[in-house]
Structures are given as structure tokens and as C-alpha cells.
Amino acid sequence: MDPLLVELGEAKMKDVEPILVRIEAASDDSVLPLFRTLLEGNLYYIEAEGQVVGQSDVNGETVYKDVFTQQTRTDLQKGDVDKIRVNNKLRGYLRNAMARIQLTAKSPSVRENAVRELLSKLDDDTVEVLEGLYPNETNKKVKEAMGLALAMNTASQTGLAPSNRIAAIEKMSTSLESDVRNLLTRLTRDDSAAVVSAANAALEKIAQRVNRFAFVDQLFFGLSLGSVLLLASIGLAITFGVMGVINMAHGEMIMLGAYTTYVVQLIMPNYIDYSIWVAIPAAFLVSGLMGVLIERLVICRLHGRPLETLLATFGISLILQQLVRTIFSPLNRQVSTPSWMSGSWEINPVLSLTLNRLYILAFALLVFIVLVIVLKKTSLGLNVRAVSQNRNMAKAMGVKTNWVDAMTFGLGSGIAGIAGVALSQLTNVGPNLGQSYIIDSFMVVVFGGVGNLLGTLVAAFTLGIATKFLEPTTGAVLAAILVLVFIILFIQKRPKGLFPQKGRAAE
Amino acid sequence: MKRLTAWFSEGRSTGKHTLPFVVILLSVTILASAANLLLPADSVFYVSTYTITLLGKYLCYAMLALAVDIIWGYCGILSLGHGAFFALGGYAMGMYLMRQIGDRGVYGNPLLPDFMVFLDWKELPWFWLGMDQFWFAMLMAVLVPGLLAFVFGWLAFRSRVTGVYLSIMTQALTYALLLAFFRNEMGFGGNNGLTDFKEILGFSLQADSTRVALFLITAILLAVVFVVSQKILSSRLGKVVLAIRDSESRSRFIGYRTDRYKVWLFVYSAVIAGIAGALYVPQVGIINPGEFSPINSIEMVIWVAVGGRGTLIGAVIGALLVNYAKTRFTAIMPDAWLFALGAMFVLVTLYLPKGLMGLYGQLKAKRNSVMNKESQA
Amino acid sequence: MSTLDSTRELFRRDQVWPFLAPAQAEVNVGNQMILYVEDLNLSFDGFKALNNLNLYINDGELRCLIGANGAGKTTLMDVITGKTQCDSGTVFFGQNHNLLNKDEAEIAQLGIGRKFQKPTVFEEQTVFDNLELSLKTDKRVLPTLFSRLTPTQIDRIDEVLKTIGLAKHRFMLAGALSHGQKQWLEIGMLLVAEPRLLLIDEPVAGMTAQETERTAELLTSLAGERTVIVVEHDMEFVRSIARTVTVLHQGSVLAEGTMDQIQSNKDVIEVYLGEEAAAGEQA
Amino acid sequence: MKIKTLTSAIVLSGATLIALPSLAADTIKVGVLHSLSGTMAISETTLKDTVLMMVDEQNKKGGLLGKKVEAVVVDPASNWPLFAEKGRELLTKDKVDVIFGSWTSVSRKSVLPVLEELNGLMFYPVQYEGEESSKNVFYTGAAPNQQAIPAVDYLMNDLGVERFVLAGTDYVYPRTTNKILEAYLKAKGVAAKDIMINYTPFGHSDWQSIVSDINKFGSEGMKTAVVSTINGDANVPFYKELGNQGISSEDIPVVAFSVGEEELSGLDTKPLVGHLAAWNYFQSVETPENEAFIKAWHAYTKNSDRVTNDPMEATYIGFKMWANAVTKAGTTDVDAVEQAMIGQTTPNLTGGVAVMNKNHHLSKPVLIGEIQDNGQFEVVWETDGVVAGDAWSDFLPGSKDLISDWTAPIKCGNYNTKTKSCSGQNY
């Protein structure tokens, strides 16, 4: 083993693969940590000793550990080691090699994944191994996967009798794996007519199911876009809908929230996973306070002049943008995704929902519900509703309208800040972040009906889903244009949006 | 007495700035042009072509501000989409200038503009036909914005979409057009827009004399638009328009079909914006979808707010002043000019709700209040 | 109006086709009746503002409408002037003008003028301009653009200015007038438009006793030549001008007759005067 | 009274606009025409700083022709017509001798007529779509054949890619690049059904459907790669979506032409490891020149975390060559410098020597790098020698007969070799 490691450490990248083949052939599953470390790009070579070592980051410090024994090597410095580099080709090889080794792993899920990984690379050796393992496999799922692999092998053997192959094809037709579909597509060009028709039938059967899942997938995309729109516009629904203030700086409140996330992660670089939980209240406070400040300094002097709040807040948005540009530079800032939010929830081979979007969807709904409760059940909410319906009356009843205005605006802005935390997980954190959402937000609020939170919810999801279902046929740009034109026409038909306020009070 | 009353009610106060404005505008323009063409470049009074082009651009913006003011200051319709009409007028002119290039484009194709050649288009799209004729292109420069304003206005005003809703819808309109013109498939040159113009009516666009001529034409047209708008707004129609701004429902109850008045005024305003756009393009040398961006349209509103809405002269002064400030600021403090610009908007809305003209009016009113009282008695 | 309705309209034999009829056709008051309101229904979010309301007004009459808050007085005016769409029913102006398919401006041009509860005048314009705008003229866009004041029109405005006592303030901005003066200006705007039918909502609110008296005089002098409908809470005022009084209650007509008849009507005493008294005590 | 105020206001503003002619030409002026605000500020401010640093260094070496070099910075604010206006301002008011500027194609197209009218000189430091060669512009960024085509070659030859997704932002650079690549791929025998082309608007942020389409396209049994000409801001959400949908670089590698170190610095790179980019420069390349450059950059910005990137190297090469050409010509006169520029050489920061060709484009090496988890690139492939920039692509029907040659006797930016004629020149 050791001479091979020396070779590995000193080889040029293009010579590495044959060495890895030899390492794989010469060893058992004990080589797994080596391959894994190499795959992650953390394998280093100690030239002086002819040994390899794994590097990892613990609380910001570089630590070296022996790959096989996991013992920490404190004697090594950065200069003593050279990185063993990998490229995509090697990564592909490593992944397959690990799968081959893991076919006999203890955990059934690892075994199943290994089998699925190998579906696309069914060479004779692998098939032989699988055939040996199949009869003794106890876990149902793993056995199914192995059966599928063997069926694929059978189906692709042109030398076998068509009846055997057709039976194998039928077995394959219950699978949604893309490798299965690719194989079946190849089989439709087979010499045997019976095989061709069986493959076609199987493909059709699979296609039906795939289409069903594709629909679910698209629906999820729509809901996810809707949740982003909801988050971006819900703060506006309060400042614009309840207070009648056209806050052009709303987008910048979102931006502040996103930058707050960045700063929080900067302060606690080793606790990225928890940073979101700190960032949410922090962003709420930062944007909320900024909102209160803007309300007290500018907006409270513009009561009853809604169109002029537009101009003043536009000025504010310019100032805020330039402010972050000056403080944080015009470059985008890096916000990391916590590990629990990365990746996706794989329901089956054709349907997987990305976790971050799933969380954001849930988060948007949660924010919405909390907001509704705040407005319906708390005394602040009561005051807010009273002021929005009849300012003078509320004043006469002893409501401190100034205070309520400041709090309402702060609440709306704070929620925009929270939206910024969510958006920082999806898109750029830069000075232009807010700009890209402001128009969409206004569309959502107007479409839903000003002053109606439920309307905002329905409008956000309607627009999100509509956009996503239009996109495949029209392309992203045309879909956006069509949605805008639709809103323009819709407002002509129903000038007060989906859920208008009715009766004399609305006049 | 009667005749006096009639005269009073027709040529009232709003018109008093017209004559001085036209005189100053035209004399400054003519002086600047003469200084550019006749004086040697090293003379102290020489006006560089850069300045001429810059002034020409400002005047286009002033005309655009006039259009915004007519609809916002006088009728209370806050349009956040006037950039769309401006840009459409600009595109009509741009298409004409594009066709004028003829076979002098980089690919030497006599019919197709360069961007169509490298997108591999085989023939001219239908909407480019006829654009090689100056009169037709100019007709389109007013017709297309006018038509769009008519359709949009007819739909919106008839359904009584007002106030904030209308503003947001106009914003949506210009945003939708922005996205559409960005698409290369649309046949308007995508993000790059139309540029690299050579000639207008056979005159080279790079010649000083052409630039000066364009500048003069812009000034004259601005004066014409100013006078015509002044006349319209001081007619009874102008009073109806003001009435609609103050109380639209009352105007309806005394028998005015306010939707038609609003559509009419909206179209008029859009046509002016279109003309401004058509004049703008040959002077700055490029038209691209950026002109449709909602931010631009908001900026126009701000020019008017700074100058003072509800007075035509205010709109012009606002446009000139803000743009001049912008030019200066970007040169003097490139890193901080957005602070200055933003602060200016906030301060003007807070402390000068009627803009600079309002401030001027207040100062004058204070001084004259005593005199007025005497004359009334 | 649905397509079916408009098609039906085409086949009516008692009238010319609507699109052939001149828009400004004279109001046909053949039966001495100028306003027909029949079976009017309207509800806001379940609340029945108008409930099978029937009302007929004679040409040249001065009619007072009274009723408690929410009885439907203002809503009725809203429906007549086209501000609010009703759910069902018919409203005809004379025999030949269906008001329900016209908008506010058309109705105003037919000769129905309205004064609101809260005086609404064009505050940023002078008293003179306010009246000029209300003149009975061609109110289409282009004629308005090229219109000039004729000497007759100026005379007419001067006359009205005198009537409403604002002759001195003709070049004052309307916004600078007192509340009472605004009321007068609004009445003046009605007068100068020479309407056939005037709908006047609480004309004397905010007026001094003297002014109230003058208003009463003015309204009675108008009746005969014009038809006037007045909504008023001030019972003294109503008594001073009314010949016929209609009492509305919960969106329909409760009683109709002379003031004395009304005051002795049992139902009215119960629901209207009773409430009024109660309200008076509270205040 | 009011007339007076008005007159004085207008006269005053007019007077300040009239530039006082610069008193003495004892400095050599370098105009910097990069957006410092607006959407492009993200990319362009770095280049402004680079030019300022180069000016600084030049002055430390004693300036040029015995004179001090002075930078004049203006902000065109990502507003394309403003590029023309500010360009004119630099040339007529500030009388600069050379301009370093522009990033987007449209900004270059906007300022181009002004440069040609006033006979200015500009260095354009960004990779672009080609199809242009002006007497007044030197293109120090990559032309498509110096970036796109080598990258596709690498994908086909080294990674065995058979299917291609050409994804780009909808503007002229991606459109042209993709047109060229499509023609090139078809010439290499790739079937039309194996090429998927997709365009998205600027700043596109919702990539769910497109990434899922790419995933489907890539799971049909043939090795697939994405060739990305997605612009600036849209990249972050694109890569995030790729990572979240579990598309790793081994499954479907993405090779990008607009993603460099600067863009990666705003990105959590862990999910991107292994994706590719093609450039003429990477910060990670270890040469003495590069090390010195990075050191100088960190010292100048007083920030050792600032990264360097390809357009910075292009600016560096452009500035060096211009300084040499001025020295060689002995004057800053545009025509003389233009002729002196052709044939100029400057060592690349990545090794080898860059040469300015007759078509105003550079010969440079092409590198392909894989993204590492530290936000840097690891070079996985490079061309053997330098590749000469091609102003007119051979793969576009409109331009295959065109060449650019700014030396006598042709002296033309778009010379048709078939008709032997020169078209579309503005000077």
C-alpha cells in the first residue's frame, strides 16, 4: 500500500487514475476514508515521510489527521504538506469506486445508494459482484435495487432470448431511475421487434408517472416563487396597505436584512448552522429600527400626501443603497447556507424538493400567520386597525397615532428585514438586492387588494404559480411580461384588486 | 367691466412666465450656437460641442418634464411610466437612424442593421418597414406613444383606476416594456439597443453644425410645446383639468366625462414625451431598453417635484437644475453623488412641497401681500 | 346591462332604437312626472340600503326626503345620479331616459344637479371659475378646449354671484371661503347649470339662521320652474319649505304626505320622530 | 426681477459648463470611464482601482516622457448614454490622452462613436463577443476564440462531453458567443438535439425550472455540460440552485465565461467545487509577475483579502503596453500611439508574453480552472502557446469573410477579403 501512496502523492494529475485503480484492486473497504478524503479535496501528501494525511478545519484552525487511524498529527505545519489535487474525472472515478466498495457496507441505505450509483456503470465485474450478493441480501429495498440492476443487465444482453429480456424490461418499468429510461430508450432501437415494443410500452408507463411528478415539481416551484414574493411583499402590505405609504425604500429594508445576515455570519463564523436563528431577530430589529427612524424623520411629516411619500422614500432608497455600497463595498457579499438547509429531500428519482426552498415556504407561511395573529389579537394590532380605518376617531379615543404609525412602519420594515434573511439564502447579497424585488412586491399587493393580508397571500401564490407554469412554454422573460400585462388588465377590471374593501368606508 | 372679466378669466396668472421663458430660452440657445460655430476654439466665449450636446440633452429632459407636469401637476395623475413614451419616441427615431446607416454597417448589409445580421435574420421584421422614411418614422414617434397612452388610458380611466393604483400600473407598464425590449427576439437590438448612427436626413451626426441644428430645433420645439401647453391649460379645458385634480367626482356631477378628459391629456402628454425622446436619440447617439427602467420614470417625476409641479416653468427649471446637478456631482464626487441626490429628493418633498417655484411664489406673496390688500380695497 | 337586455331593447316597439335616439333628447314629462323610481334594491355586504323603494316626483315639485341615518336617503341620491349601481329596479328621468345605464356625467348633462352633504367645490380655483365650469354648455373635450365665455354667460354668472351673495369674492380661491360660503357656492354651481332636477343633500348644515331663511326662500322660488328634492334633518327648515314630504325607513318609503299628515302618522312617530327625540336627548 | 434671476441662473450654469482650457500640458492624463454606481459598479469599481494603482506605479517610476501621469475619474453610473456623454467630457473638457474603461458591450458601443469622432483612444479590458475592431479601441480582454472555443474543446476532448447546454443572459455577448459555439459544435458533429440553448433576463433570480430542465437534459444518458454565459448577478442564485438540486460538477460540469474570482468572493463556493471557468488569467497561477501584482494590489487597497481577476490583468497589460507605446512614439498623439501599439509585447501575469496584433486584439494563453472551496481556481488545462484574438469569428456567416488589419496598406477594421472592400468606418 505505502509505495502506491508515494506514487499517488508524486503523480501528475493525469496519471492519478491508474494509480487509484491499483489502490482499489489492492485493498478492501479500509481504503474508504482515503477515497473520501481525496474526493473532498482534503488529502495532503507529506513528502518527507512518503505518507498521506487528511486536513480539516476545526473552529477556524487547520488540523491534520492520519487518514486511516484518525490520529491527530500536531507536528505538521502547512509547509510540510502538498495537496493532492483532484479534478472532475477523478471525482467521478472515486465516487464509483466507493460505491463498489460500499456494496457490502453494513448500513442498508448505504448499500442501496451504492447500487443506485452503479446503475449507470454496469460493467461485467460489477454485475458479477451483484449476482453474488443478490441471493443473500436481506433488506427489501436493497434487494429491489439490486434486482433492478440485474434486470437492466439482462435486458441489455442482446444474446439472451427475447422472452427473458422482455420479462426484465417489465421489471424495469416500475422504476423511475433516469438510467432505466436511458437504457429503455436505447432498447427501442433493438433488433428484436418484441423487445422494442416492450421497451416502448415500459417507457410510456414510466412517462405517465414522470409527468405526474413533473407537475408536482412545477407546482412546488410555483409555491416556492410565491413564498419569496409573499415574503418580499408582506411588509409592504402593511406599510402600503394599512398606512397608505408608498415606500420605495421597502426593497432597501429587505437589503438591510440580508446584510444583517452577512454581518451575523461574520461575527460567528464557526456557528453558521445557528446563525440564521440570530439573524432573524437581528434583521427584524435593524430594519424595524430603520423603519421607525424613517417614519419619525420623514414620513410622519407627509401625512395625507401618499404620492409624495413615494418621492421622499425613493430618495431614502438611493441613500441607503449608497450607504451599504460605502460600508460594505459594491461587491456582493458571501452568505453561507447552513448545512441543514442545503441539499434536497429526494422523494423519488424524479421528484426532489430543495430543502432551502421548502424551509422558506414554511417560513413565509409562519411569518404570515404570526402577522395575522399580531394584527388580530394584540393591542398593537387593534390600534393599527383603528388608525388605518379612521385616524381622527382613533386619536379622539386616545390612541397615540404617532406612536402607532411608527410601530406599524417599524413592523412592516422589520418583516421586510426578515424577508432579507430568507432571500440571502437564495440570491445575491448586494446593494441592488432590494431593487429587484420592489416592483414585484407592489404588483403583489395591488393585485391582492390594498389593505388585505389574505389578498397578499393569495396574490403572491397565484403569481408565483402562474409564472412557473408559463415559463416552460414561453421562457422566463415572456412569462414575466405576460404576468405583468395580466395584472394591468386585471386592475382595469377590478380596480381594487382581488379582495377589495367594500362599502362606504372604502370610498 | 365685462371685457375685463373675460380677459381675466382667459389669460390668467399662469401665463405670465411664457414670454420671458421663450425669449430667454431662444436667446441663450442662439447665443450658445453662435458661440460654438463662429468663435475659434481657444476663445474665452467658445462653447464646446460637448456643452451644446449636453444642453440639448437637458432641453429634451425639460420637454419630458413638461409632459410629466401636465399630467401630474395639473391633472393629479402620477405617472411612473412616462419613460416608456419617451423611449418609444426614441426608438422610432433610432430605427430611422439605423436604416439611414444603409450599407455602411460593419457587415455592409444594405437592408439589415448589424445586430440583425449577426443574429442571422434574413429579412426586416414588418415593424421596421417604412422606417427609412423620415416623415413616417416621425409619425410613429408621436403615434406609437400616443396610441399606447390612449389604450392604457382608455382602459384605466374608464375603469376609474386612480391614485396609487394608477401609478403602480404605469410602473408595471414601463417595466413590462423594459423586459420586452431586452429580448433580442423582439427585433430592437436587445440590451445594446440601437447605436452607431451616421446621418440624419443626409447630415452627418458627427458634424458640429448638425449638433447645433439639433440643439436649436430642440429649443424651438420646447418653446412651441411650452406655449401650446400654456394655451391649452389656460383655456376652459385647463380649468376642467384642474377641477379633475381637485375633485374628480364633483367634476363628473357637473357633467364632465372626466375619463375622456384624462385620456385626452394623457395622450397629449405621451405625445410630448415621444417627441422629446425622438429629439434625444440623435443627440446622445444611443437608445436602449435602459430608458424604460422604472427608476428613470421616477426621476422624471422628481425633476418636476423639485422645480414645482403645477407650473410649466417649474417643470423646466426642475429638469434643468437636477440634471445639471447630476452632471456636476458625478464629476466632482463620483462616490457620493447618490447621497446628495437622495438627500435632495427627501428635502424637497419635506420642505418644498411646491418645489422651487412654490418657494419663489411664497417669497413674492409675502412681499406683495400688502399691495394686494390695497388694490382689493 | 347584459347583451340580452340590450337585444331586447332593440325590439321594443314603443321607442326608437337607442343608438338612433339623440343623446340629449328633451326630457319627456308627458305625465307631469319627472322622476320614476321603481322597485329599487341595493345591498352592501348584506346590509339592505335600499329595499323595494318606489318614488315618483312630479315635474316642478319641491319634495323633502326625511328619515333616520341609514334610511337610504343619500344612497337613493347616489343611485339617481349614477354614483352607485343598484342591484335591481328602474330609475327613469321623464319617460324616455333610463338613468341606470348612464354614468354621472351623462346624468348631469341631462339636467340633474346635485349638492353634496359635505360641500365640495374646486378649492384651488376661483369662485368665478367654479361657476364657469358649471355653466350649461357643451362639455365634450374639444369644444371645451376652444370655448370662450360669451357675454350672456358672464351675465348669467354675475347674476348667480349676486344671488348667492359672493359677488365680492369672485376672484377669491374657493378654498379660502368659509363653510357657509362654500355651501352657497355649491348651490350657485347648481343654479348656473340650469338643471331640470336638483338633488340637495342637507343644504343648511353649518348655516346661520339668517342664511337658512334665505336658502328656504331660494329653494321655494326655484320650485315650479325646476324640480327640487331636498334631504334635510332640520325639521324646522323642512316645515318651512315642504309641500310634500316623503319619509324613508330602512330603504323603503314609510309614508308620504304633507308635513302635518306625516307628523300625525303613527308609523312615522314610532320609527322616526321617536328616534330623533331619543337622539336629541343623547346629545 | 424674475427674468434677472432666470437669466443669471442659466448664464451661470452655462458658464460653469464651458470648460476652461487646461492651462498647461505638463501632465499626461488618463481617463477612467468605469461605473462607480448602479448595477455595474460591482464589477467596474475594481478596474477603476486597478488603473489608479497602475498610474501610481508609473509615477513612482518617474512618470511618462518625463511628465507625471494623472488619472481623471468620472462615473457613468451604469447608464449607457452617459458613457457617451462622459467619454466626450473626458476627451474635450479634460483632454485626456487615453481612456481605460467600459465593461458591458453596450457601454462600449455607446462611447465608440464619440471616440471615433474625436479620435480618442480607449482600452477595453473585458472578454467580449468580438465582431468589432475600431481604430480607436484596443481590446485587451478575450475574444470568443480565446475563451469559448478552447473551453468547449476541453469539454469534448478531456471530459468526453457529448451534450451541451448553452445558458446565457439575454444580451449580445451570450447571444454571439452561443451562435459561434453552436456553429462550432455542429461543425464538430454534435447533433442539434444535443444542444440546448436558454436565455434569461438580467439579474434572473429564480432558477428552479431552468436548473431542473438542465438536470433532465443531462440525465438522458450522454455526458452533459453547461456552457454558461450568465452575467454577473444572476450567477449566485444559479449556482446556489445547482447545489441545492444536487447537481455536482461530476454529473454536469458548468463552464462559465463570466465568473471569476471577484464573482466567487460573493458566493459560498462549497457546492460549486469542480465547476469550471475559462479565462486568460487566474489569481492562483504561480509566477513571479503574478505574485508581485497581487502583492501590489493588496498593498494598494490595504486589504489582503481582495482578489484579482482576468479583467484586471487585461487592464494591467493594456496599461503597460500603452506606456511602452507612448515611450516608443515619444508622444501621446493618438495616431502615433496607435501605430506604436501594434506589435507591443508585455509579459503575461500567467507566464508567456502577450502580443498586440494588427487587429487590436491580444495574443494570450487560455486557461481552464476548476473552482476550489477557497474561492480560487485550480488550473486543469491550458493551451500550449498563446492564442491570437480573432476580431471577426469564422463561425458566423456574416463575418467569416471579414478581417481586421490596422497596418498599411489595409488599415481597416472590417475588411472583406472576398470583395476586397472596407465598410462601416467612421473616421
pLDDT (average), residues C117-129: 87
Instruction: Give residue A194's identity as a one-letter amino acid code.
Output: A
- Mapped onto helix, strand or coil, the DSSP state of residue A336 is coil
A-D C-beta contacts closer than 8 Å: 141
- pLDDT exceeds 70 at position C279: no
Average pLDDT, chain B: 87
Angle D267-D271-D273 from CA coordinates, rounded to 5°: 95
- Confirm or reject contact between A116 and chain D (CB < 8 A): no
In this predicted model, what pLDDT tens digit does every residue of B72-128 receive, in sequence order? 999 999 999 999 999 999 999 999 999 998 888 878 788 888 888 877 788 899 999
In this predicted model, what pLDDT tens digit does every residue of A22-59 receive, in sequence order? 888 877 777 888 888 888 878 888 888 878 888 877 76
Neighbours of chain C (3+ CB pairs under 8 A): A, B
- Greater confidence (A158 vs B200) lies with B200
- What pLDDT sits at residue D424? 61
Interchain contact, D266 vs A480, CB within 8 Å: no
- Provide the domain count of chain B: 1
CB A117 within 8 A of CB D187: no
Residue in A closest to B339 by C-alpha: A319
> Is B6 part of a structural domain of the chain?
no
Distance CA A428, CA D240 (A): 10
Preferred mutation among C116, C117, C139, C198 to probe B, highest tally of B CBs within 10 A = C139
> Which chain D residues are Cβ-neighbours of A218 within 8 angstroms?
209
- What pLDDT sits at residue A54? 85
Task: Look at A107-111, B152-156, D347-351 and tell me which has the smallest mean pLDDT.
Answer: A107-111
Q: How confident is the model at residue C20 (pLDDT cuts 50, 70, 90)?
A: low
Distance CA A451, CA A448 (A): 9
- pLDDT exceeds 60 at position C280: no
> Which chain C residues are Cβ-neighbours of A502 within 8 angstroms?
44-45
- Mapped onto helix, strand or coil, the DSSP state of residue A52 is strand
CB A434 within 8 A of CB A481: no
CA distance A322 to chain D (A): 8
- What pLDDT sits at residue C268? 79
- What pLDDT sits at residue C12? 66
- What pLDDT sits at residue A332? 81
- Confirm or reject contact between A506 and chain C (CB < 8 A): no
> Is B295 part of a structural domain of the chain?
yes
CB D317 within 8 A of CB D140: yes
pLDDT (average), residues A84-91: 79
In this predicted model, what pLDDT tens digit does every residue of A243-257 receive, in sequence order? 778 888 999 999 999
Distance CA D104, CA D171 (A): 10
Q: Give the total residue count for chain B.
A: 377
Q: Which residue among A315, A478, A495 places its CB closest to the CB of B343?
A: A315
Residue in C closest to B8 by C-alpha: C171
Average pLDDT, chain D: 87
Interchain contact, B106 vs D132, CB within 8 Å: yes
Question: What are the backbone angles phi and psi of residue D64, rounded to the nearest 5°?
Answer: -130, 135
CA distance C21 to chain B (A): 20
Interchain contact, B190 vs D397, CB within 8 Å: no
- What pLDDT sits at residue B283? 93
- What pLDDT sits at residue A63? 82
Sign (positive or negative) of CA dihedral D233, D238, D240, D241: positive
Q: Which residue among C122, C132, C147 places its CB closest to the CB of B246?
A: C122
Q: How confident is the model at residue A162 (pLDDT cuts 50, 70, 90)?
A: confident
In this predicted model, what pLDDT tens digit does every residue of D317-329 receive, in sequence order? 999 999 999 999 9
CA distance B238 to chain C (A): 8
Q: How confident is the model at residue A60 (pLDDT cuts 50, 70, 90)?
A: low
Cell matching residue D79: 447608464
Q: A496 CB contacts (<8 Å, ≥6 apart)? A: A449, A450, A506, B165
Q: Which residue among B9, B240, B253 places its CB closest to the CB of C144?
A: B240
Where do the structural domains in chain C lie, given as residue ranges?
30-282
pLDDT (average), residues C161-180: 88
CATH number, span C30-282:
3.40.50.300
Q: How confident is the model at residue A451 (pLDDT cuts 50, 70, 90)?
A: confident
Q: Shortest CA distance to B191 belongs to which of D258, D170, D35?
A: D170
Instruction: Give residue D118's identity as a one-letter amino acid code.
Output: L
- pLDDT exceeds 80 at position C7: no
Q: C69 CB contacts (<8 Å, ≥6 apart)? A: none
CA distance B161 to chain A (A): 5
Residue in D closest to B47 by C-alpha: D18
Distance CA C144, CA C130 (A): 15
- pLDDT exceeds 70 at position B7: no
- pLDDT exceeds 70 at position A96: yes
Residue A354 forms beta bridges with which residues? A344
Percent of chain C having pLDDT more than 70? 87
CB A26 within 8 A of CB A4: yes
> Which chain B residues are Cβ-neighbours of C140 within 8 angstroms?
257, 260
Instruction: Give residue D196's identity as a one-letter amino acid code.
Output: M
Average pLDDT, chain C: 82
CB B49 within 8 A of CB D114: no
Q: Which residue among A248, A480, A492 places its CB closest to the CB of B155?
A: A492
Percent of chain B having pLDDT more than 70? 93
Q: What is the DSSP string of A105-146?
A: -SSHHHHHHHHHHHTT---HHHHHHHHHHGGG---HHHHHHH
- Confirm or reject contact between D267 and chain A (CB < 8 A): yes
In this predicted model, what pLDDT tens digit does every residue of D365-423 receive, in sequence order? 999 999 887 889 988 888 888 999 999 988 888 788 888 999 888 888 888 888 888 87
Neighbours of chain A (3+ CB pairs under 8 A): B, C, D
A225-234, B335-344, C11-20, D233-242: which has the highest mean pLDDT? A225-234
Preferred mutation among B77, B169, B303, B339 to probe A, highest tally of A CBs within 10 A = B169
- Residue D75 DSSP code: -
- What pLDDT sits at residue D1? 43
Look up the pTM and report it.
0.88
CB B170 within 8 A of CB B77: no
Distance CA A273, CA A63 (A): 21
First to last CA, chain A: 85
B9-21: burial string, b at 16+ Cβ within 10 Å, e else:
beeeebeebbeeb
Cell matching residue A361: 415556504
Task: Look at A87-91, A272-276, A466-470, B73-77 and tell me which has the smallest mean pLDDT.
Answer: A87-91
A243-268: burial string, b at 16+ Cβ within 10 Å, e else:
bbbbbbbbbbbbbbbbbbbbbbbeee
- Confirm or reject contact between A506 and chain B (CB < 8 A): no
- Greater confidence (A78 vs A428) lies with A428
CB within 8 Å of chain C, chain B residues 228-257 = 232, 235-237, 239-240, 242-243, 245-247, 249-257
Distance CA C103, CA C106 (A): 5
CA distance C188 to chain A (A): 26
- What pLDDT sits at residue A379? 86
> Which chain C residues are Cβ-neighbours of A503 within 8 angstroms?
44-45
> Which chain D residues are Cβ-neighbours of B192 within 8 angstroms?
105-106, 109, 171-172
In this predicted model, what pLDDT tens digit does every residue of D132-183 receive, in sequence order? 899 999 999 999 999 999 999 999 998 889 999 999 988 888 988 998 999 9
Distance CA A127, CA A478 (A): 49
CATH number, span D148-256:
3.40.50.2300
pLDDT (average), residues D186-195: 93
Interchain contact, D249 vs A88, CB within 8 Å: yes
Interchain contact, A91 vs D253, CB within 8 Å: no
> Which chain A residues are Cβ-neighbours of C44 within 8 angstroms?
502-504
Interchain contact, A472 vs D209, CB within 8 Å: yes
- What pLDDT sits at residue C21? 57
Cα–Cα separations (whole angstroms), residue A450 to A226, A234, A496, C71: 18, 11, 7, 30
- Confirm or reject contact between A457 and chain B (CB < 8 A): no
Angle C44-C45-C47 from CA coordinates, rounded to 5°: 60
> Is B5 part of a structural domain of the chain?
no
- What pLDDT sits at residue D188? 92
- Mapped onto helix, strand or coil, the DSSP state of residue A345 is strand
Average pLDDT, chain A: 85
> Which chain A residues are Cβ-neighbours of B173 within 8 angstroms?
484, 488
> Is B7 part of a structural domain of the chain?
no
Task: Look at A279-288, B88-97, C17-26 and tell me which has the smallest mean pLDDT.
Answer: C17-26
Interchain contact, A333 vs D208, CB within 8 Å: no
Distance CA B256, CA B130 (A): 40
- Greater confidence (B353 vs B2) lies with B353
> Is B2 part of a structural domain of the chain?
no
Interchain contact, C104 vs B253, CB within 8 Å: yes
Residue in D closest to B114 by C-alpha: D398
> Is B31 part of a structural domain of the chain?
yes
Distance CA D65, CA B69 (A): 55
Q: Shortest CA distance to D208 belongs to which of A94, A228, A285?
A: A228
- What pLDDT sits at residue A118? 80
Strand order in the sheet with C88-93: C47-58, C33-44, C88-93, C97-98
Q: For chain C, where are the E strands, in sequence order?
A: 33-44, 47-58, 62-67, 88-93, 97-98, 112-115, 197-201, 227-231, 244-249, 252-257
| Centroid of chain to Cα D80 | 16
Q: What is the ipTM of this complex?
A: 0.85
> Which chain B residues are Cβ-neighbours of D4 within 8 angstroms?
none
- Residue A502 DSSP code: -
For the CA atoms of A129, A131, A133, A137, what is the dihedral angle to 10 degrees?
150
pLDDT (average), residues A480-501: 86
D293-312: burial string, b at 16+ Cβ within 10 Å, e else:
bbebbeebeeeeebbbbbbb
Instruction: Give residue C191's identity as a one-letter amino acid code.
Output: L
Q: How confident is the model at residue D4 (pLDDT cuts 50, 70, 90)?
A: very low
Cα–Cα separations (whole angstroms), residue D226 to A482, D143, D169, D177, D258: 28, 20, 13, 14, 13
Distance CA B267, CA B262 (A): 8
Interchain contact, B345 vs A308, CB within 8 Å: no
- Mapped onto helix, strand or coil, the DSSP state of residue B108 is coil
- Confirm or reject contact between D339 and chain A (CB < 8 A): no
Q: Give the total residue count for chain D.
A: 427
Angle B40-B45-B49 from CA coordinates, rounded to 5°: 65
Percent of chain A having pLDDT more than 90? 24
Residue in A closest to D35 by C-alpha: A330
Q: Shortest CA distance to C274 belongs to which of C282, C243, C201?
A: C282
- pLDDT exceeds 80 at position A6: yes
Cell matching residue A141: 429495498
Range of the domain at B44: 17-376
Q: Which H or E run includes A151?
A: helix A140-156
Domains recognised in chain A with CATH numbers: 2-90 (no CATH), 109-191 (no CATH), 212-506 (1.10.3470)
Burial of B135 (0-12, 13-18, 19+ CB in 10 A): exposed
- What pLDDT sits at residue A380? 84
Interchain contact, D220 vs A225, CB within 8 Å: no
A88-92, A198-202, D150-154: which has the highest mean pLDDT? D150-154
Distance CA A157, CA A162 (A): 10
Distance CA D75, CA D90 (A): 11
Angle A252-A258-A260 from CA coordinates, rounded to 5°: 105
CB within 8 Å of chain B, chain A residues 334-393 = none
For the CA atoms of B257, B260, B264, B265, what is the dihedral angle to 10 degrees?
50
In this predicted model, what pLDDT tens digit does every residue of A115-151 receive, in sequence order? 887 887 777 778 888 888 888 888 888 888 888 888 8
Give the residue carrying C-alpha cell 471530459. Answer: D159
Interchain contact, B250 vs C129, CB within 8 Å: no
- Confirm or reject contact between A330 and chain D (CB < 8 A): yes
- Confirm or reject contact between D410 and chain A (CB < 8 A): no
Q: Which H or E run includes A314?
A: helix A306-328
CA distance D237 to chain A (A): 5
- What pLDDT sits at residue C241? 84
- pLDDT exceeds 70 at position D36: yes
- Confirm or reject contact between A89 and chain D (CB < 8 A): yes
- What pLDDT sits at residue D24? 45
Q: Shortest CA distance to A52 belongs to which of A62, A60, A35?
A: A35
Residue in C closest to A505 by C-alpha: C44
Interchain contact, B47 vs D74, CB within 8 Å: no
- What pLDDT sits at residue A242? 75
